Amino acid sequence: MYEYKGVSLSIVEGDITKIGIEAIVNAANNTLLGGDGVDGAIHKAGGPTILEQCKKIGGCPTGEARITTSGNMPSKYVIHTVGPIYKDGSRGEDRLLYNAYYNSLKLAKEYNINAIAFPSISTGVYGYPKDEASKIAINAVTDFINKEGGIEEVQFVSFSKNDYLLYKKLLDKRFNNN
Ligand code: AR6
């Protein structure tokens, strides 16, 4: 567990659909109509009410975020965001990934959500290099805390031991933990 300006930051290894927290973030696509990876897992665990709400929303541009309820999952809300498809790093991928995190937090704040869990957006099907993506995730979250505030807890959910260790290395370095 880490603390940054009074906000609790932690790394959790496991399946985000099982986390009982106010909001979980989905790494969705522009249609918001579901897919593989964490998106598929969220729609499967949450049930059809999420898809019904997503259909009404009608899509989401890359880097932006939209919100639905969580259906049958223990969380209350799902914040659907769309990360970039990684090509070669020269097409503004870093800014779009940053925006996906930042805009998810902005939406959370609008809904008075205090605690949120993020998967590692864009690092699966969309192919973003994990090391770079984790740094961007941490930068976006700490920038948001600096500039906007209003959040109390952020969890970085890692789906593998390697991802967990990567976040741990970066957060230890940043916050000087041993
Ligand atoms: N809990 C937590 N993390 C998970 C889970 C889970 N249940 N399942 C996978 N991950 P991805 P993307 C991790 O592919 O790269 C979909 O088809 C996974 O190990 O889910 O943003 C959408 O519809 C990886 O580190 O999302 C889009 O079309 C991370 O979540 C596209 O994939 C993100 O992998 C989005 O691709």
The ligand 1 atom at the shortest distance from the C-alpha of residue 157 is 2
Domain ranges of the chain: 2-175
Q: Is 46 in the pocket of ligand 1 (CB under 6 A)?
A: no
CA distance 41 to 20: 15
CA distance 4 to 113: 18
pLDDT band with cut points at 50, 70 and 90 for residue 89? very high
Grouping H, G, I as helix, E, B as strand and the rest as coil, residue 41 is helix
Q: What residues contact residue 114 under an 8 Å CB cut-off, 6+ apart?
A: 22, 151, 152, 153
State in Å: Cα 113 to ligand 1 middle: 23
The H-assigned helical ranges of the chain are 37-46, 48-57, 93-110, 130-147, 161-175
What are the tokens at 30? 């522009």
Average pLDDT over residues 61-89: 98
Is CATH 3.30.565.10 correct for 2-175? no
Q: Is 9 in the pocket of ligand 1 (CB under 6 A)?
A: no
List 4's β-bridge partners, or say none.
7
Q: 177 or 119: whose pLDDT is higher?
A: 119
If you average pLDDT over every residue of the chain, what do you get? Answer: 97
Average pLDDT over residues 150-173: 97
State in Å: Cα 138 to ligand 1 middle: 18
Query: Which amino acid is present at 98?
Result: Y
CA distance 156 to 164: 9
Q: Is 42 in the pocket of ligand 1 (CB under 6 A)?
A: no
pLDDT band with cut points at 50, 70 and 90 for residue 177? low
Q: Which of 159, 164, 165, 167 to mutate to test the pocket of ligand 1 (most atoms within 8 A of CB)?
A: 159
Atom 8 of ligand 1, residue of closest alpha carbon:
38
- What residues are labeled active site? 39
State in Å: Cα 58 to ligand 1 middle: 21
**CA separation, residue 3 to residues 10, 72, 95, 164 (Å):** 9, 31, 25, 17
pLDDT of 46 > 70? The answer is yes
Q: Report the first-to-last Cα separation within the chain, whole angstroms.
A: 11
State in Å: Cα 8 to ligand 1 middle: 24
- Residue 176: what pLDDT? 73
pLDDT of 157 > 60? The answer is yes
Q: Is 28 in the pocket of ligand 1 (CB under 6 A)?
A: yes
